[in-house]
């Protein structure tokens, strides 16, 4: 299965759009379809590599289930490489659980109060939607993915958390390459960056990776929301331009790794354009209804 074969998913994605689901369910259906396709593609690449090297590739049900249903990473060489089981790190486990709890409380108790405030306004709805996204990211991306990594490592899997303290990134390159969603980074590096860099240079691989990310987010964000088309792609083009600019600064001797100026630059490039990625149509039509599903604020009444 090559990367180009993802085009075969478009009819299925179109079917989800035409199925009559509301926006949040359409988003979940499309995101799940893309996620499972990418997981399968990663697994097939790993299998083919092992078979070419004369190694066997046989998996038990537990390994299959864990790969698809438990672990969000996209690096099979880590997940399927086994080591002796070890004692679970309780401190790390507690920290991961705390992030889940913080996100869940924000999503189920705090944000509904913001959205259901008597003084309703468009600005309050947008603010509530953004707080809801923060709750989801804290609970799932920072919390659950870390929790799963801790448990799987104790079971002998050589996995690493897909989030690596993105808040401490000192450059756009570091943020996307070593800090944020390392699962997608691992996948894009193998399927796009390395093949294109060998053929046409690192610049081609870099741009292709960000364009592919833009396409994925258009399908998972703009399409379910039925609006905001083009903004996620623009966001990732800005990120690619930011990484390219850093490389030029470095060549000119204008780049001092770890400096405060570099940190400010990373914040400006990564954080300020985020409303392009999570545009108003997505926030109001997808995130706000999801928060309504999770509303447990009545427990405080």
Kindly report, residue by residue over 73-116, the tens digit of the pLDDT: 999 999 998 888 888 889 999 999 999 999 999 999 999 999 88
pTM assigned to the model: 0.93
Structurally, how many domains does the chain consist of?
Answer: 1
Please check whether residue 81 is in contact with residue 49, taking contact to mean a CB–CB distance below 8 angstroms.
no
Q: Does 145 have pLDDT greater than 70?
A: yes
pLDDT in tens, 38-74: 999 999 999 999 888 888 887 888 889 999 999 999 9
For the four alpha carbons of 132, 135, 139 and 143, in that order, the dihedral sign comes to: positive
Please check whether residue 126 is in contact with residue 136, taking contact to mean a CB–CB distance below 8 angstroms.
no
Between the alpha carbon of residue 96 and those of residues 51, 101, 146, 150, the distances in Å are: 36, 9, 6, 8
Percentage of residues of the chain with pLDDT beyond 90? 64
Average pLDDT rounded to a whole number, residues 225-231: 97
Average pLDDT across the chain, whole number: 91
Domain of 127 in residue numbering reads as: 3-300
173 Cβ contact partners less than 8 Å away, ≥ 6 residues apart: 243, 246, 247
What's the longest Cα–Cα distance across the chain? 67
Phi, psi of 82 (to 5 degrees): -100, 150
Please report the pLDDT score of residue 1 as a whole number: 45
């Amino acid at each position: 299965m090559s990367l180009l074969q993802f085009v075969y998913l478009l009819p299925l994605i179109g079917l989800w759009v035409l199925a009559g689901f509301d926006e949040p369910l359409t988003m979940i259906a499309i995101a799940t379809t893309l996620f499972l396709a990418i997981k399968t593609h990663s697994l097939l690449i790993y299998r083919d590599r092992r078979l070419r090297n004369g190694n066997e590739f046989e998996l038990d049900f537990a390994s299959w289930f864990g790969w698809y249903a438990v672990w969000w990473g996209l690096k099979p060489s880590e997940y399927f490489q086994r080591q002796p089981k070890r004692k679970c790190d309780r401190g790390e486990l507690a920290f991961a659980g705390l992030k889940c709890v913080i996100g869940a409380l924000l999503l189920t108790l705090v944000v509904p109060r913001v959205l259901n405030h008597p003084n309703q306004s468009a600005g309050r709805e947008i603010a509530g939607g953004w707080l809801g996204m923060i709750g989801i990211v804290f609970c799932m991306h920072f919390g659950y993915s870390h929790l799963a990594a801790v448990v799987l490592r104790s079971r002998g899997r050589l996995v690493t958390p897909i989030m690596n303290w993105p808040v401490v990134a000192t450059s756009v390159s570091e943020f996307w390459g070593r800090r944020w969603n390392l699962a997608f980074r691992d996948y894009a590096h193998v399927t796009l960056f390395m093949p294109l860099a060998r053929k046409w240079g690192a610049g081609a691989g870099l741009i292709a990776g960000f364009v592919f990310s833009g396409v994925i987010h258009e399908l998972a964000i703009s399409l379910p929301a039925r609006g905001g088309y083009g903004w996620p792609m623009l966001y990732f083009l800005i990120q690619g331009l930011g990484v390219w600019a850093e490389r030029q600064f470095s060549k000119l001797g204008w780049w001092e790794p770890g400096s405060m100026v570099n940190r400010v630059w990373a914040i400006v490039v990564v954080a300020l354009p985020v409303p392009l990625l999570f545009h108003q149509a997505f926030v109001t039509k997808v995130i706000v209804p999801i928060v309504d599903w999770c509303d447990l604020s009545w427990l405080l009444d």
